[in-house]
Amino acid sequence: MSRLDQLAAYVDEAALTATEIAQISETHKLTIAEAYAVQALSVQRRYARGETRVGVKMGLTSRAKMIQVGVSDVVWGRLTDAMREEEGGTVSMARYIHPRVEPEIAFLMKAPLAGRVSPLEAMAAVGAVAPALEIIDSRYKAFKFDVGDVIADNSSSSGFVIGQWAPPTVDLSNLGMVLSIDGRAGEIGSSAAILGHPVRSLVAAARMVAEAGERLEAGDIVLAGGATAAIPMAVGQSVLLEVESLGQVAFNVGD
């Protein structure tokens, strides 16, 4: 096994068994290209177990997120069917190590998109938009990582919940977003916090997947990134996101 294959097995095994691991950067400094190679190899292992590709997630697209984790590069990760949690359902904490939840906007692609595109071209490839909750779960101890670590760990991708899809004609530029835990507002923000406008995250996604030789496909889900800092999850919580003009999305946290 090559060194990158070994690291892919290391992060994949941690995700599969919900076991925390030491940061790769303690022993290997990965370049950004190597980190994405580890990510791709680790997701190949998921596909080999029967998981299927459903889209991508963008990360660190808001200042609040960059500050929370101390990394200020926009990153992306790959989403599979096994990560999707049921809207209104109960999420099992046992699947995760130290999960956090964050408020997002999801795009549903109706046409392929890749490379350098304008915001108008990007929106023309979108079939629907929805409020979404992402459950991130860094596999690293204490949820601490550098940019290479987090990319190799599939940008902490671990779960996501999508609300009702709405037509892509909704103006996404400045929608109020309230993330509540047990009926109390925990984080309050705006879709404008996502690179100034969530469509810029989709533009970045098209460029970044193309750099990896891939493209966004019709039917793909693209998560634009957390608009606020993420909130640690705990058993018994009820989690609700309300997005102005788009509606709400919720789940409960079980054992």
| Residues engaged in binding ligand OOG (CB under 6 A) | 57, 59-61, 65, 69, 102, 134, 136, 138, 150, 155-156, 225-226
Q: Which does 60 bind (CB under 5 to 8 A by kind): ligand OOG, Mg ion, none?
A: ligand OOG
Q: Which residue is nearest to ligand OOG (CB)?
A: 59
SS3 per-residue string spanning 180-245: EECCEEEEEEEHHHCCCCHHHHHHHHHHHHHHCCCCECCCCEEECCCCCCCEECCCCCEEEEEECC
What's the closest the beta carbon of residue 3 comes to Mg ion, in angstroms? 28
User: Residue 2 Cβ, how far from ligand OOG at the closest point, in Å?
Assistant: 25
The candidate with the shortest Cα–Cα distance to 198, out of 36, 57, 55, 78, is 57
Nearest to 160, CA basis, from 93, 40, 79: 79
Whats the size of the chain, residue-wise? 255
Asked whether 137 and 217 are in contact (CB, 8 A), the reply is no
Query: Shortest gap between Cβ of 48 and Mg ion (angstroms)?
Result: 25
242 lies in the binding site for Mg ion (CB under 5 A):
no
12 counts as binding Mg ion under rule CB under 5 A: no
- Select from ligand OOG, Mg ion, none the partner in contact with residue 80, using the beta carbon and a kind-dependent cut-off of 5 to 8 Å: none
155 binds, among Mg ion, ligand OOG, none (CB under 5 to 8 A by kind): ligand OOG
Rounded least distance, CB 1 to ligand OOG, Å: 26
Shortest spacing between CB 136 and ligand OOG, in angstroms: 4
Return the range that interacts with Mg ion (CB under 5 A); candidates 80-88, 129-137, 139-147, 201-209.
129-137
Report the amino acid identity of residue 16.
L
Choose from Mg ion, ligand OOG, none: what does 198 bind? Cβ within 5-8 Å by kind. none
Closer residue to ligand OOG, CB minimum distance, 5 or 68: 68
- 186 belongs to the binding site for Mg ion (CB under 5 A): no
Minimum distance from CB of 142 to Mg ion (Å)? 19
Both tokens of residue 174? 């400045």
Report if residue 226 touches Mg ion, rule: CB under 5 A: yes
134 binds Mg ion (CB under 5 A): yes
* Interacting residue ranges for Mg ion, rule: CB under 5 A: 134, 226
